[in-house]
Amino acid sequence: MNAKRPLIAVLTGAGISTDSGIPDYRGPNGLWQRDPQAQQLVTLGPYLADPDVRRRAWLMRRDAGALAAEPNAGHLALVELERAGLPVRVLTQNVDGLHQRAGLPDRKVLELHGTAREVQCVDCRVRGGMEKVLERVAAGEPDPACRECGGVLKPCTVMFGEALDPVVLERADAIAKACDLFVAVGTSLQVYPVAALPQIARESGARLVVVNGEPTPFDEVADEVVREPISTALPALVRRLLAEQG
């Protein structure tokens, strides 16, 4: 009888997508370092209260080109791990959808902070595609409103000032408690409650590996810390895990 294969949980943050051209927030060249005012654009209170903040936010989304970004070697490495038959669950703080575009099934990806590929009206809650709304921005609508009720549109992401979906967080906690290996990739591990997941995994007996360009609060308790660029470090880690499983 085959031995039970270990469950691998991978928590990914902005750092895994920087090689796809999507800037992170807190790194040395991150968005907050270059423009500290940019955090207003993704903070719920200012976004809802100030039309100028919304106009700037829509221009930022239009110019970022995130919807056209392609998965990189880090995303593809996780697909390789899944296709080899290992039990893998990806918990992502990213809203770019690149794990799914790389080939991971939707059911294997838990989007902790939602998705930037859709928008939702804050009033009537109707949802639609981000691409269509950005086309309206490009055509001259600086602050496109909901076409159903005239309400404010926002991306289907968890903004600063919003709580995470408790159902999503409960699923993430369950995965952290059940996994045998927890890998944190490209995340500063500073934003709670998501930053608690590595500790939950460790307390449940999992090994902890941190792959990040900058130090994190969990480095001292991790079983392994990798400082190399993610697009090379993650494929190497995956090759090693596959070799260990035979």
Nearest-CA neighbor of 19 among 123, 83, 102, 116? 102
Residues 6+ apart with CB under 8 A from 156: 114, 115, 116, 117, 118, 119, 120, 127
Query: Alpha carbon of 115 to those of 67, 96, 108, 158, 230: distances in Å?
Result: 11, 6, 15, 8, 22
Nearest-CA neighbor of 134 among 211, 243, 57? 57
Active site members: 113
User: Cα–Cα distance between 216 and 186 in angstroms, integer?
Assistant: 10
